[in-house]
Structure 1
């Protein structure tokens, strides 16, 4: 988990470097007037193309590692049943594919809002929701060992386990982002760094919650405890 978080943060840093470089190109190198800045932002310059491609590549790598981790947790919690993870694997492949198509569309359509954006966001949301729902259902319906004192700690541990294992926060962020994208409002840009897959920062936060929760809550069950039916 620590290695995955590290990789995601490296990808986020590289993505930030691309964005920072293009911002400097538009506002510093071409900052003589408002018009020159505007032209730098919309023209198909080498800097803009490199930024789009670079951020797409880092986004896809971060997405693969983050979603693969979530899919793996679903796989383990469901007793390593392949039937539970085949759909999210297919959805993840579709997410990456449509992310590339969406970026290609922006490069050739003056970087405007493309219909592929909604398709790609939908697949990303479907992947997260599939794993989140299955993990949540598994945690709620599975028996939890009592600690021998009272029911309070068991309920507390169940709540913490449910939160850190299922990445609910990430799924909620994707749902909000999808709503704004579907309404084709420019306000969706405010949620893009938080919920869109190209903003891999939020995924790393979700994984950090899982890792931190495991260390903080000693009662979380090890993977071997889920092997039973």
Structure 2
């Protein structure tokens, strides 16, 4: 049986925030941003809320019908950076990570740093679909939910000839993305005194039309 997926709306905000918070509490990058476990439990939901609000406003959030997994996507035109601002809006682009830091935890410079570091390595030359985050409830991992969420978008990318991009935050997710056709682009992003993130790019795969069949069901000559 396939995985039922729908597009989330503003009414799903709390569901998405809670799902991302649960999915990323033990992620290496979240642990780097909030090294203290108690601090992470208190402030991590606010960071996930900030990310959710950005994507609900400017992109699309796909969620499984049962609310067990979600994926946050942004469509990035050629020349656009990490936060969707074009090259002629450099001031706004520079302010984005600082605004997130101010809203979530002004004393935590790593919140701003992660935004600036990922923006610096984000490819800008070609239009692409950007998988900002994908979260699966801890008790549902390994069921193929994340793959189902990604494959639906990748199928459309292949039909339309559009590339896709993401940053893998751990070795397990990197292996999943490699199976889906993503490849590392450039060196890994080593966070200061922290883990490595892997920027990954996927070229669209050529869709070949199905071979015509004769009345007997064999390929037509």
Q: TM-score normalised by the shorter chain: which range applies?
A: under 0.3
Question: Bigger relative contact order, structure 1 or 2, given CA contacts below 8 A and separation 6+?
Answer: 1
Higher helix share: 1
Q: How does the TM-score come out when normalised to structure 2?
A: 0.27
Q: How does the TM-score come out when normalised to structure 1?
A: 0.27
